Chain A
Amino acid sequence: MSDEATPYRKAEEVKPVTSADSTVDRVVMRDIRKRYGMVDALRGVTLRVGPGEVIGLVGDNAAGKSTLMKVLAGAVVPDSGEIVFDGRPVSFSTPRDARELGIEMVYQDLALCDDIDVAGNLFLGREPRKAGGLLLDVAQMHRDARRHLDALNIRIPLTDIPVGGLSGGQRQAVAIARAVTFGPKLLILDEPTAALAVAEVETVLELIKTVSAQGVSVILITHRLQDLFRVCDRLCVMYEGTLRADLDARATSLERLVSEIVAHDQIDPGAGDAAAGDGRRENDTTEGARR
């Protein structure tokens, strides 16, 4: 089944995924497929992330980035494929399964409850409790929320107002704080800087550097390509539900990255790629005919 995806990949850049690798990798996703009715959102994607590694996941709109990450966060159950986390095969049927392993995700649509206050959203699903677990420890919740927000340098003066009343940037900050607060092993950020001001974007990029230095693996989806080169170790390009390229961020130019994203055929990175290039063109034609 993977032959459909193979033409999109550069053989020398995709590191072979073997069982030996799985023991050192934080996470390996193998041949993940997901179909929504007529839409083939994921057509066999293989992705690996090392401990402390920062991956930039890029691609055109509807390439399948968000869907792939939702699979990893347990929010979407794939049709097929396997996930190996810290060397152990896992399968997530709910986001709770993924969260318990230390996978946290900031969703593109933020996924906040507008009617619940800042502290409530930060701790949603893992509220501090008292009275033998029967009651919420509201005071503790606000104290901890204050502490976590300050530690992350997030400017939200009040933790007891509903998040529906916050600005776009503040809401995004709350979503990020929720993901990093509970010491994740893998942090997924789906366009986390879209609504942020310049200074706030810097804070997020610093945050990514800090947590990855502590061994947290990070997958960053963003359209701000210049940011990727500042924080990422590897750049993975998705194209129409497949992983098109897996590049070393330090050895890749912005032009090269752009041409991979738009699936530009003319730019040929090497002679060894001629066959793959042909395959790609062929595949593109069939794609075009299908559409």
Chain B
Amino acid sequence: MTTSERTTTSERGGGAAVSERVVTTRSARANAHIGKHAQTIAIGVVLVVLLIFFAFSADRFATTGNILNLLRQISPTLIVAIAMTFVISTSGIDLSVGSTVALSGSLLAIVLQHGWDPTLALVAILALGALIGFVNGWFSSYQNIPPFIVTLAMLSIMRGTALRATEGYSTPIDGELWIVQLGQGRVAGIPVPVILAVVIAAVGWLTLTRTPFGRYVIGLGSNGESLRRTGVNTRKVGLAVYVLTGLAAALAGVLIATRLSSGSSNAGSGFELEVITAVVLGGTSLFGGRGSMLGTILGALTLGVIANGLVLLHVSPFYVQIVQGAILLLAIFANSKVWARFGAVRK
């Protein structure tokens, strides 16, 4: 009857004599879609402006070498930020990723020094990362302890374990081992970490937007009780996202340690802040229910460009940290105040 007729008309996008109701809903759709993508577009614009600015102000910025170097530098951040996008979309947080980077890098170097097979060492380190994530997820999702507290405790435990294991010294990694290629190798001129980051970003995007799991991650952050009532095992979903950040952080630790040819218990300090900033900058809501993988990629790129550009302009590296913290605060402010006007953001 009329309902379906109207609908088909509006879906075809034609028909001047469409009822007022459909027109309103159409503007609602436009609003919703703009709201969804406004922040991604905004961060994209910021990135382009920064690129142009540094290209003109720093001589060596716009060279292939520098760009590839920049991309390699942000690869670990991006890999963990992809996983963190899932966690934050469920309205969770994982503060332990920086410590996990330190622990996995240190342990990798130590077990290699003990003569472990590099492949076995890699698998063991990744499994350890997944286990750390499992513990985070079990306390947060199954025991309902705020993830902020759980992962803050794990931050301390993992950093302490890394310090104890290395006694504070860094452990060299033999440059002859194949595993060093993970951090230093290139395929067709592209650094291996960059290739890994691109593949993981693509898989992450597909998972968040096109799979039932991604749908449940958004649902969990949007209205967890509602998702539970539809029969989804919400606790499992809530646990799985922390396994993802644990795994990603362990991989990041391996990439950083193999790039530097040494495992250090001081690696990854402030790493969690960088990762969370990239995610929030990209428009993923700290309150859950909204996650943008493309935004996270742009956010990580923006942070990398700022850090790299400032160094090329001979600005003291200490400022980079100040700038990063300020960006996080601004991004959260924009997230909750400015973009909320588009109606798609809650709270």
Chain A residues with Cβ below 8 Å from B50 are none
Identify 11 new A-B residue pairs, CB closer than 8 A, beyond the known A94-B231, A94-B233, A96-B233.
A75-B228, A95-B231, A96-B232, A111-B230, A114-B223, A115-B344, A116-B219, A125-B227, A157-B6, A157-B7, A158-B10
Cβ-based interface call for A78 (8 A): no
Q: Looking across the interface, which residue of chain B has its beta carbon closest to that of A107?
A: B229
Does A89 touch B at the CB level, under 8 Å?
A: no
A161 in the interface (beta carbon within 8 A): yes
Given A115-B218, A136-B211, A161 and B29 touching (CB < 8 A)? yes
Q: Which residues 1-24 of B sit at the A interface, judged by CB distance below 8 A?
A: 1, 3-4, 6-7, 10-11, 21-22
Bitwise, A93-106 to B at CB < 8 A (1) or not (0) is: 01110011000010
Does any Cβ of A come within 8 Å of B72's Cβ?
Answer: no
**A147 CB to nearest B CB, Å:** 10
Given A129-B212, A136-B210, A165-B344, also A157-B21 (CB < 8 A): yes
Q: Assess the B229–A111 pair: CB atoms within 8 A.
A: yes
A73 contacts chain B at the CB level, 8 A cutoff: yes
A147-164: contact bitstring with B at CB < 8 Å (1 yes, 0 no)? 000100111111011101
| A125 vs B228: C-alpha distance when bound (angstroms) | 9
Answer whether residue A258 sits at the interface, using C-beta atoms and an 8 A cutoff: no
Docked-complex contact A136 and B219, CB < 8 angstroms:
no
Would you call B67 an interface residue if the criterion is a C-beta within 8 Å of the partner chain's C-beta atoms? no
The smallest beta-carbon distance between B34 and chain A, in angstroms, is 12
Q: Which of A73, A155, A156, A164 contacts B346 (CB 8 A)?
A: A164
A138 at the interface (CB under 8 A from B): yes
Question: Does residue A120 face the partner (Cβ distance < 8 Å to B)?
Answer: yes
Interface residues of A in 132-149 (CB under 8 A from B): 134-136, 138, 146
Q: Does B168 have its Cβ within 8 Å of any Cβ on chain A?
A: no
Across the interface, do B29 and A160 meet the contact criterion of CB distance under 8 Å? yes
- B150 CB, min distance to chain A CBs, angstroms: 24
B25 — which chain A residues lie within 8 A by C-beta?
A: 156-158, 161
Residues of A within 8 A of B221 (CB): 115
Q: Are B227 and A113 in contact (CB under 8 A)?
A: yes
B interface, CB within 8 angstroms of A = 1, 3-4, 6-7, 10-11, 21-22, 25-26, 28-29, 31-32, 206, 210-212, 215, 218-219, 221-223, 225-233, 289-290, 343-344, 346
Give the chain B neighbours of A111 by CB distance below 8 A: 223, 225-226, 229-230
Chief secondary structure at chain A's binding surface: loop
Q: Does A127 contact B (CB under 8 A)?
A: yes
CB distance B343 to A96 under 8 Å?
no
CA distance A95 to B232 in the complex (A): 8
Name which of A96, A107, A125, A164 has the most chain B CB atoms within 10 A of its CB.
Answer: A125
Contact residues in A for B206 (Cβ distance below 8 Å):
135
Instruction: List, sorted by A's number, 25 A–B pairs whose CB atoms are closer than 8 Å.
Output: A73-B229, A75-B229, A95-B228, A95-B231, A96-B232, A100-B231, A107-B229, A111-B223, A111-B225, A113-B219, A113-B223, A114-B222, A115-B218, A115-B346, A125-B232, A135-B206, A150-B3, A150-B7, A156-B25, A161-B32, A162-B32, A164-B344, A164-B346, A165-B28, A165-B343
Which B residue's beta carbon lies closest to that of A146? Answer: B7
Q: Closest 10 A-B residue pairs measured CB to CB?
A: A96-B231, A125-B230, A111-B226, A115-B289, A113-B222, A115-B222, A124-B230, A125-B231, A113-B219, A113-B223
Partner of A113, one of B4, B28, B289: B289
A96→B212 CA distance, assembly (Å) = 16
Q: How far is the CA of A70 from the CA of B29 in the complex (A)?
A: 34
A241 to chain B, nearest CB (A): 22
Is A112 on the interface with B (CB-CB < 8 A)? yes
- B227 proximity list for chain A (CB < 8 A): 113, 124-125
B344 contacts A116, C-beta separation under 8 Å: no
Shortest C-beta distance, B180 to chain A (Å), equals 34
Select which of B3, B232, B290 is within 8 A of A124 by beta carbon: B232
Cβ of A136: which chain B residues have Cβ within 8 Å of it? 210-212, 215
Query: Are A95 and B218 in touch, CB under 8 angstroms?
Result: no
